[in-house]
Amino acid sequence: MLEQGAIDALRAIPVPDQGHHIDGRQSPAETGEVLDVVSPIDGARLCGLASGSAADMNRAVRSARAAFEDGRWSKTAPAHRKKVLHRLADLIERDALELTVLGVRDNGTEINMAYKAEALSAAGTFRYYAEVIDKVYGEIAPTAQNILALVHHAPVGVVGAIVPWNFPLMIGSWKIAPALAAGNSLVLKPAESASLSLLRIAALAAEAGVPDGVFNVVTGPGAVVGEALALSMDVDVLVFTGSGATGRRLLNYSAASNLKRCYLELGGKSPNIVFNDAPDLEEAARVSAAGIFRNSGQVCVAGSRLLVQQDIHDDFVSALCAHARAFRVGDPLDLKSQIGAVHSLTQLEADLGFVETAEAEGADLRTGGQRILEETGGYYMQPTVMTNVKPTDTIAQREVFGPVLAVTPFKDEDDAIRIANSTEFGLASGVWTENLGRAHRMIAAIRSGVIHVNTYGGADLTVPLGGVKQSGNGHDKSLHALDKYHDLKTAWIQL
């Protein structure tokens, strides 16, 4: 159980300036340049971060390539890699509160959520893929007589991973753990505004026994080190979670370099659809509010579009607004806070700008819409509900990535499907109905990688997460995640 005293003690510890993690040790930027890390809690400088250059990234990639080629990890027995990743999971659990507090100081997620979704989730992810390592088999193909046809699973080589700031440990682990489990080397580029917990994970990996050079972290601006990673001729696979604009650039970089495979999770504008026969409308309102407002709406699968059947629209929106107003927004390291900070001043200003645009396009502000707690120096925003939102409005089409909900009424199933599928995104969705036939029709008709029925959120590691349309390709989580980190090699043997 979390205790406020322990949290306060950890937040009082100064954070030293951080270097890259290359070839098993901390390393300053080659240029000596340092980025200021600003905490969203109070807007104050938290520490300095190595501002990497292309030379720094190329050094990390060379280290990863050398480690892969000499087999210090790639050629070890699966049982050995399994032991090391289990040991890493143990170390993450040992330091879970320290990692969580460090991460919250860096990115602003409320600690009650971050403790489970970041540190404990990361430990669980490393355990899951540790257990998978010695249970992935090759194949024997049924082919001609006197031929033995084998299909081997081989590690791809060097994996480049670029991860976002909203859940750096959770999303980072979704990529790090299966890549290492498969025997690859890795170069990770975290968001420059949320690198601290991932640098700590790299140090714990070294402590657990991951050999030098196998897991490297390079920090700095995406336009510099991210570009160098994507353009590298020695990176075999690139995995990314972030914006569509950046994803497009990464595909261009792949084409301009070695045609490395790129797997992209590019966010969403997820519809959460409430029918008049939902089994418990009050529960649907409570869960729907949490599904958009937790972590200040900074969740890729957030139910940011609420579609409500016309005959229950007004009552349902009133119940949802009551839940929105009841959330306690404040210091994310205070256990009493239910919603923490918006990640940065830039993000906060963008969120407020979407509210202004929505009103200009004819939407109604039902609750929220304002910056609060400005006297703290931090970045906080009221949970915001906009009604009378047309499916073509900016707020219904673009990913806000903030605590802003767009509400649109619908008539019937066909209308709900039309509206739900009317954006370029297809990451997640939700349906509330007690009609089993309707639930299955909606699952079939809505174009999204994940669809929740009579709930929103909570899918665990046993199932994949991935999008359709412009929400990306490939999958994190589950056994399917390993597909990105293995090559298939056919052996055709004449007997």
**CA 406/CA 305 separation, integer angstroms:** 5
Cα dihedral: 483, 486, 492, 495 (round 10)? -100
Dmax over Cα atoms in the chain, in whole Å? 79
Beta strands in 254-295 (DSSP E): 261-265, 271-274
**CA 428/CA 468 separation, integer angstroms:** 9
Residue 184's closest CA among 279, 261, 99?
Answer: 261
Do the beta carbons of residue 416 and residue 432 sit within 8 Å? Answer: no
Our answer to whether residue 265 is catalytic in this structure is yes
Tokens of 449: 């990688």
* CA 319, chain centre distance (Å): 30
What are the residues whose beta carbons fall under 8 Å from the beta carbon of 419, sequence distance 6 or more? 271, 307, 391, 408, 410
Helix (H, G, I), strand (E, B) or coil at 454: coil
User: Which helix (H) or strand (E) element contains residue 357?
Assistant: helix 345-360
Do the beta carbons of residue 166 and residue 242 sit within 8 Å? Answer: no
What are the residues whose beta carbons fall under 8 Å from the beta carbon of 288, sequence distance 6 or more? 272, 274, 303, 306, 320, 430, 456
Helix (H, G, I), strand (E, B) or coil at 381: strand
Q: Given 110, 118, 192, 265, which residue is catalytic? A: 265
**CA 476/CA 483 separation, integer angstroms:** 10
Phi-psi region of 58 (alpha: psi -120 to 50; beta: other; left: phi over 0): alpha
Do the beta carbons of residue 18 and residue 48 sit within 8 Å? Answer: yes
Let me know if 34 is exposed, middle or buried by CB neighbors in 10 A (0-12, 13-18, 19+): middle
**C-beta neighbour count of 356 within 10 angstroms:** 11
What are the residues whose beta carbons fall under 8 Å from the beta carbon of 60, sequence distance 6 or more? 20, 22, 23, 187, 216, 217, 218
DSSP H stretches of helix in 71-211 = 78-94, 96-107, 111-114, 121-132, 168-181, 196-208
The catalytic residues are 265
